[in-house]
Amino acid sequence: MGHSQGEVAAAYVAGLLSLEDACKVVALRSRLIGQRLAGLGGMLSVAVSQQEAVERIEAGVWGGVEVAAVNSPGSVVVAGPAEAVERVQAVCEEQGVRARRIPVDYASHTAQVEQIRAELAEALEGLVPQGGGERVPLLSTVTGQWVSPGEMDGGYWFRNLRQPVRFAEAVDALAADGY
């Protein structure tokens, strides 16, 4: 299991990506983020539950951000435009809620990532997911399911960057399976 970009390393360790393809995913995604998304957003780690974060977003208290990752029952990451992230951080400080800015200037795992969908698909064209996964299985923090051989194509790595990281759910699934 890996968190966001860490899932690329986990896929390599599990034998689901070759070293060359794992490096390709990391380098090409990072380059596109730097070229197209840098400076447009931010991310904030907040000590609230997923439900509380969603309620605050839907109520407009945390307008303009999305839940980007659910790390534990009491910790989420929200992300969005830089100004919105700054407003959320100020509201959290006023309300005594722990909030720590993640030192990035983009908003992974949000709608901002849609801007690079086509370019990322083109960049990752020809990615060859490996069989693997039998000896070292991989639980996806994108789907919450065990990864099947051949599943981790370019589309999967876009979803890994676009969708919220389901880390807490994956940890719970592993614990339930006896890990």
- Among 177, 164, 141, smallest CA distance to 8 is for 141
Alpha-carbon distance of 83 to 39, in angstroms, equals 11
Ranges of each domain in the chain = 6-37+111-176, 41-102
pLDDT at 120: 95
pLDDT at 52: 97
Q: Is the pLDDT of residue 94 over 90?
A: yes
Share of the chain above pLDDT 90, in %: 89
* Residues in the chain, overall count: 179
Alpha-carbon distance of 95 to 64, in angstroms, equals 18
Mean pLDDT computed over 121-137? 84
Q: Can you read off the two tokens belonging to residue 110?
A: 């949000």
70-74, 129-133, 141-145, 156-160: lowest mean pLDDT where?
A: 129-133
Where does the pLDDT of residue 133 fall: very low under 50, low under 70, confident under 90, or very high at 90 and above? low
Write down the CATH superfamily of domain 6-37+111-176: Malonyl-Coenzyme A Acyl Carrier Protein, domain 2 (3.40.366.10)
Mean pLDDT computed over 138-154? 92
Which residues are registered as beta bridge partners of 69? 77, 165
Q: Can you read off the two tokens belonging to residue 70?
A: 């659910």
Q: Can you read off the two tokens belonging to residue 48?
A: 């609230």
Alpha-carbon distance of 130 to 16, in angstroms, equals 5
Q: Do domains 6-37+111-176 and 41-102 have the same CATH topology?
A: no
Coil vs helix vs strand at 165: strand
| CATH 3.50.30.20 assigned to 41-102 | no
